[in-house]
Amino acid sequence: MVERLKHAIEKARALREADAFPAARPQPAAQAPPSATAPAQQDAAVRRGRPTPEDQLWASLKEIRLRQPLVANRRIVTHDKSDPAHIAFDVLRTRMIKAFRDNGWNRVAVTSPRKGCGKTLVAANLALSFARQPDLRTLLLDMDLKSPELTRTFAPEGAQPISWFLSGRSPLESAIVRYGENLAIGLNGERVRDSAELIHDEKTGKVLSSMMTRMKPDVVICDLPPMLVSDDAMAFLSYVDCVILVAAAGQTTAKEIEDCERMFTGHTNFLGVILNKAEVGMTREGYEYV
C-alpha cells in the first residue's frame, strides 16, 4: 500500500514539474478575497509604527491559551520546539512561504481524500508553526462545517457556530479568537446541516472578503472537509490559491489521490501530498546550532 502511495505521490510531483499544475492561479470566482501582494516584511514594518486598524482589530480579539494535556492528546507538536516532530512542519512552512512569495499567494486549503487521514492535525500544526514566524500574521479557519474539529484542540469549552458569522448574523470579533500575537483562529462550535449551500451563498463570499480586508492576514490556512465525501470542499476551492492533500499510510489508495488531483485541476493549484501515519523512526535528539 505504501509503495503504491509513493508511486502516486511521485507521479503528482512529475506532473507539477511538467507544468500540469500551472503557477498562475486558475480564474477565481468573483467573490474570492484578493491575495496579499505586499511582502510580509513591509507589513511588519508598518505594524511597528503607528497602530493600524488591523492592529487594533487583532489586539481586540479574545486571546486563548493552549492546555498542555490537551495539546499532547491532540498531537500538537509545533507550539514550541520541545518535540522533534515539529521539524517536518517547519520545513513545510518554509517551502510554503517561498511558494507564496514567488506566486503572490496567501491562502491554502488542507484537505484529504476521506475522513481519518489527519488533515486537521496537519492544519493545526502548520498554523502554530507559522505563528512562531514573528513577521507573519496567520489566520486558521475551520471550514469543515459538517465535522468541525479545531474547537476540540483550541477551545474545548466550546465556540459559537461559525455559520452565524458566515451568514452575517454575528460580527467578526465574536467569531475569531487569537493565540499569541499573530495567530487568529475561526472556530466552529456547531455542525452545519446545509453546509454546501452556505458556502455557495453570495453573502458568505462578501463576509470572507470583508474579513480579509479588515484583518489583512499574511497567511490563511483553511481546514476543509475530505474531497470524496461531499461537495463542500469543491465549493470552497475558489476561495483559496492552493491546496495540500493529506493521505494516510495504510488507508488512502493511489486511486483516491489521483481522483483528488483531477478534482483540483482547473479550480486551484496543487502544492502536493503529505503522507501521514507512516511508520518512520524519529530521533528525540533534534538538531541545534551551538
Query: With 0-12 CB in 10 A as exposed, 13-18 as middle and 19+ as buried, what is 36?
Result: buried
pLDDT the model gives residue 202: 95
Residues 115-142 pLDDT 10s: 999 999 999 999 999 999 999 999 999 9
Predicted confidence (pLDDT) at residue 229 exceeds the cutoff of 80 = yes
pLDDT the model gives residue 278: 80
Residues 128 and 210: their CA atoms lie apart, in Å, by: 24
Residues 171 and 232: their CA atoms lie apart, in Å, by: 23
Average pLDDT over residues 86-103: 94
pLDDT the model gives residue 79: 78
Q: Which pLDDT band holds residue 182 (cuts at 50, 70, 90)?
A: very high
Average pLDDT over residues 196-202: 95
Pick from 191, 197, 195, 187: which is nearest to 160 by CA?
Answer: 187
pLDDT the model gives residue 145: 96
The per-residue b/e assignment along 137-157, b for 16 or more CB within 10 angstroms, e otherwise, is: bbbbbbbbbbbbbbbebbbee
Cα distance from N-terminal residue to C-terminal residue, the chain: 41
Q: Which pLDDT band holds residue 249 (cuts at 50, 70, 90)?
A: very high
Residues 4-63 pLDDT 10s: 555 555 655 554 444 433 333 444 443 444 444 344 444 554 455 689 999 999 999 999
Residues 142-151 pLDDT 10s: 999 999 999 8
Strands 183-186 and 176-179: antiparallel
Q: Select the more confidently predicted residue: 158 or 111.
A: 111
Pick from 234, 223, 245: which is nearest to 267 by CA?
Answer: 234
Contacts of 16 (CB under 8 A, 6+ apart): 270, 272
- pLDDT, averaged across the chain: 83
DSSP string, 58-81: HHHSEEE---HHHHHHTT---SSS
202: which 3 cell numbers? 453570495
